[in-house]
Amino acid sequence: MNANGETVIDVRGLTKRFGDKVAVDDVDMTVARGEIVGFLGPNGSGKTTTIRMICGLLRPDGGEGTCLGHDIVREAEAIKRQVGYMTQRFSLYEDLTIRENLEFVARLYALSNLRQSVNETVEGLGLKSRQHQLAGTLSGGWKQRLALAACIMHKPRLLLLDEPTAGVDPKARREFWDEIHHLAEDGLTVLVSTHYMDEAERCHRVVYIAYGTIVARGTAEEIIESSGLGTFVVAGQGAAAAARALNGMPGVEQVAAFGQDIHVVGSHGPSLAESVHEVAERYPIHVAPGETTLEDVFIRLMSDAQVNENGR
Amino acid sequence: MKAHSAASRIRAVLLKEVIQMRRDRLTFAMIIGIPILQLVLFGYAINTDPKNLPTGVVMADPGPVARSIVAGMQTSGYFLIERGHSEAEARAGLTAGTLAFVVTVPAGFHSDLVRGQNPEIIVEADASDPTASANAIAALPEIVNRAIAASTQGPMSAAGAGAVRPEIIVHRHYNPERITAYNIVPGLIGTILTMTATLMTALALTREIERGTMENLLAMPLRPIEIMVGKIVPYIGLGFLQVGVILIAAYLLFQVPMEGSLTLLLSAVLLFIAANVTLGYTFSTLARSQLQAMQMTFFFFLPSILLSGFMFPFRGMPVWAQAIGQVLPLTHFLRAVRGVMLKGNDVLQTLPHLWPVTLFLLVIGTIALMRFRRTLD
């Protein structure tokens, strides 16, 4: 496994219970070197728990696997040395300055050239003039950049990012993703959890988890294609009224407003088309076939999983 | 290489703690302020051996021996003699609380003495605060005996009690003047360290958990022992700072003597601080929140204060209470420090008080390492 195309994460049957609740249920995942894999799923679906098991922060109740060639249960220490983990919540010290935080991390990884590493990181962040500012006084976007800088300082081989861009403005998010792609080009592997569809589309591959179970995986196109969903875009003056009428009609599974337009989604093409055309005769609207988005698919996956969960 | 990175990791945690400690001004002020405040309160305000207690003297037989007794009482320092009371006035003063004692020398005292019969002196004390009058009363028989002995030398020596030197001495070991501060300073070192050292480290890990920084700490390649050492050492340093403050203030304010070796004292202090911070760290691994850690600390602090011999004499406690007291490091530390500071004990005399503290440290340290959660489970 040391050749090109080496597997960085390879876990099978990962299971984690908290009391009676099964947080992660029989999850398999493989991630190859240099890949950027998006990890998606609703809140509480088990993303964070899975990531924590991969980097040795939680002990799985079932399953096995390796991360960077080390066993995730027995060799957690070796994994931790080569992984950069960015937690969902800012977990550097708010009462330490930017520089002190970076020095702390550099010492923890016993970096040989502490001063130089920290200087480079501070300059790379563009925070040289503010390096003596307390980390707690930074805005959300800066905190996130600092956290990322801190977890790549020791040149890890794998980055685990847990909702790194939650609450960050679009420009900062875009810069963040440019940085991620830049790092991946140098061979760094990235597993990133997110709620943002545009971010999911920037990943090489996507894994979708709901209620602890992986329900879809592949590239964005593959996932959309395999969902079998069809979409119509409804526009015009009567769109809002039409949307209300469409709700619950045969073949109509999702009705969602996007600005002036309404997206109508369903998995059974003929009955969806029939319903849409029927409504088009009653309201002043235009109907055109549209493209199914990743979001449409995920909402579908989410409600399916909910049905399964409730049916258990 | 491996040792080098372990040292680097410990250094990382240690320096981080020092920076956070320095930045937390309020806590830092408390750390320095508490010892000074306690020292001043115990040293100046709280005195379990009050002097100059107002004393009325009813002199029905103004003979030389009676006068000698009264003079002896005055010079003992315990009694502030007010003369010329009638019996009724004196009793009223006692009731009103303006007098703490009334001493009556009955008529015929001198003639009884000369005849070799047992003469009586009646002492009435306001015993509503027994501790306030206890020492003064305890000093009385000695004062009286010596006054009699003194005045019966020479022509009346046949009636004397024997060859006793004619001055009044309240004879007590190690703290002849019974200055409360002498006794309180070693005790204060112990109690202040028990409280602050344990509390500060008890908060050390729970604070990381509450602030969400524990996840990051655990995700990095740190061993439990490295976190523990890195977190404990700064607080040992802080403990020494407190001890320094107490010792300097004790010397400047109360001229508390330092009979034994300072090195020996500081060695005992080191051991004792280490035991307390390790205990605090253990609390930290058991508690889920800072509040819980604080509660555990106080749960430990209370018996330490009450059963160690700091508040109440150890020998006066029932056997079961003594047994609990024996487990507490403060009990042994108090004996060690009082021994070194006031009696000038040497290493061999101090060792019996130090090994129980060492044992406590080892047991607690092992529990802490076993209890430490390497994962977020």
Phi and psi at residue A70, to the nearest 5°: -105, 145
User: What end-to-end distance do the CA atoms of chain B give, in Å?
Assistant: 31
The strand order across the sheet containing A189-193 reads: A83-86, A158-162, A189-193, A36-40, A205-210, A213-218
Q: Where are the domain boundaries for CATH 3.40.1710.10 in chain B?
A: 53-159
In chain A, what are the domain boundaries? 7-223, 230-291
The pLDDT confidence band at residue B159, using thresholds 50, 70 and 90, is very low
What pLDDT is stored for residue A303 in this prediction?
80
Q: How confident is the model at residue B128 (pLDDT cuts 50, 70, 90)?
A: low
For B42, residues 6+ apart whose C-beta sits below 8 A from its C-beta are B180, B181, B184, B188
Choosing among 1.10.260.40, 3.40.190.10, 3.40.50.720, 3.40.1710.10, the CATH entry for B53-159 is 3.40.1710.10
A234-277 residue pLDDT tens = 888 888 888 888 888 888 888 888 888 888 999 888 888 888 88
Task: Determine which of A108, A112, A114 to mutate to test the interface with B (most B C-beta atoms within 10 Å).
Answer: A108
The A-side interface with B (CB below 8 A) comprises 52, 55-59, 76-77, 80-81, 83, 85, 87, 89-96, 100, 103-110
Coil vs helix vs strand at B310: coil
Beta bridge partners of B102: B56, B124
Answer yes or no: is pLDDT of B114 > 80: no
Residues of chain B neighbouring A90 (CB-CB closer than 8 A): 212
Selecting from A80, A95, A96 the residue whose C-beta is nearest the C-beta of B219 gives: A80
- Best probe of the A interface among B215, B216, B227, B377, by most A CBs < 10 A, is B216
Which is higher by pLDDT, B149 or A37? A37
Instruction: Give the DSSP letter of residue B315.
Output: G
Instruction: Nearest chain A residue to B207 by CA: give it.
Output: A93
pLDDT tens digits, residue range B192-248?
A: 888 888 988 898 888 998 888 988 988 998 888 898 899 999 999 989 998 898 888
CA B175 to chain A, closest CA, distance in angstroms equals 48
Does position B341 have pLDDT exceeding 60, yes or no? yes
Q: Does the domain at residues A230-291 carry the CATH identifier 3.30.70.100?
A: yes
Lowest mean pLDDT among A35-49, B80-94, B222-236: B80-94
**CB under 8 A, 24+ apart: contacts of B208-215:** B209/B288, B209/B289, B210/B289, B210/B290, B211/A91, B211/A93, B211/A94, B212/A87, B212/A89, B212/A90, B212/A91, B213/A91, B213/A92, B213/A93, B214/A91, B214/B376, B215/A57, B215/A87, B215/A89, B215/A91, B215/B376
Rounded-to-integer distance, Cα A8 and Cα A37, Å: 12
Torsion of CA B318, B49, B186, B366, to 10 degrees: 20
Query: How confident is the model over B344-365, as a mean pLDDT?
Result: 90
Q: Does B12 touch chain A (CB under 8 A)?
A: yes
Question: HSE-up of B274 (CA within 13 Å, CB side)?
Answer: 16
Are B40 and A111 in contact by the 8 Å Cβ rule? The answer is no
Q: What percent of chain B has pLDDT over 70?
A: 85
Dist. CA A200–CA A36, nearest whole Å? 10
Q: Check residue B98 and give its pLDDT.
A: 78
Cross-chain Cβ contact A108/B218 below 8 Å: no
Beta strand B79-82 with B53-59: parallel, antiparallel or unpaired? parallel
Which candidate, B230, B206, B19, B377, places its Cα nearest to that of A108?
Answer: B230
d(CA A66, CA A8): 8
Whole-number pLDDT of residue B129: 60
Assigned superfamily of A7-223: P-loop containing nucleotide triphosphate hydrolases (3.40.50.300)
Range from A40-54, B52-66, B104-118, B277-291 carrying the lowest mean pLDDT: B104-118
